[in-house]
Amino acid sequence: MQTLRSRATRAGGFTMVELAVVVTIIGVLVVAALPRYQFAIERARATQAFSTLAQLQASQERYSIENGMYARTLRALDLEGSLPLGFRLSSHDSGNWETGYRIVLRREGATNGFGRYTIVWSQDGFLIGPSTIPDSLLPRGYHRKILLETQGETLSSR
């Protein structure tokens, strides 16, 4: 009888303290990894917005070649429903539709700690000066200093 009792005691499993330690360790790992995960998600959304705007630029160029001017609406480009999740078209305007246009996408809703920001695009591509996207979210190949110099601005003028 005594051997059965000692076997049952040894095979009882984990104690509450051991389980609490494991849960605490997992919690610490999750808290440590969460900001990086949120950053990766937001950067992916920003990259998707840049990709969408580059596609829109190509569509605008095709439209301009066929019609002699840039499209005044996304519907004319068959791109109306293609905006990335979490972004809305803030403006799509031009001083002269024959020579150029300007599109502003605004990041709306939850932004994983980055706040709302804008991405401004024209017939020449991404416009860094009026855009408010944080530098850390810029996709690879877009560097604020290089873009500002290319677009005739300096870091001190911002």
What H or E segment, with its residue span, contains residue 94? none
pLDDT score at 95 = 86
151 contacts 128 by C-beta, under 8 angstroms:
yes
pLDDT score at 62 = 93
pLDDT score at 77 = 85
> Structure pTM?
0.74
77 contacts 60 by C-beta, under 8 angstroms:
yes
Taking the C-alpha atoms of residue 15 and residue 153, their distance in angstroms, rounded to an integer, is 64
Q: Which CATH class is domain 2-157?
A: alpha beta
Residues 6+ apart with CB under 8 A from 140: none
3-state secondary structure 26-79: HHHHHHHHHHHHHHHHHHHHHHHHHHHHHHHHHHHHHHHHHHCCCCCCCHHHCC
pLDDT score at 155 = 47
pLDDT score at 153 = 55
Per-residue pLDDT of the chain in tens (158 residues, 90 and over written 9): 555 555 555 567 889 999 999 999 999 988 888 888 889 999 999 999 999 999 999 999 999 999 999 998 888 887 766 788 889 988 888 889 999 999 999 998 766 778 899 999 999 999 988 999 998 899 887 776 555 556 665 444 44
pLDDT score at 17 = 92
**Domain map of the chain by residue range?**
2-157
pLDDT score at 144 = 65
pLDDT score at 146 = 58
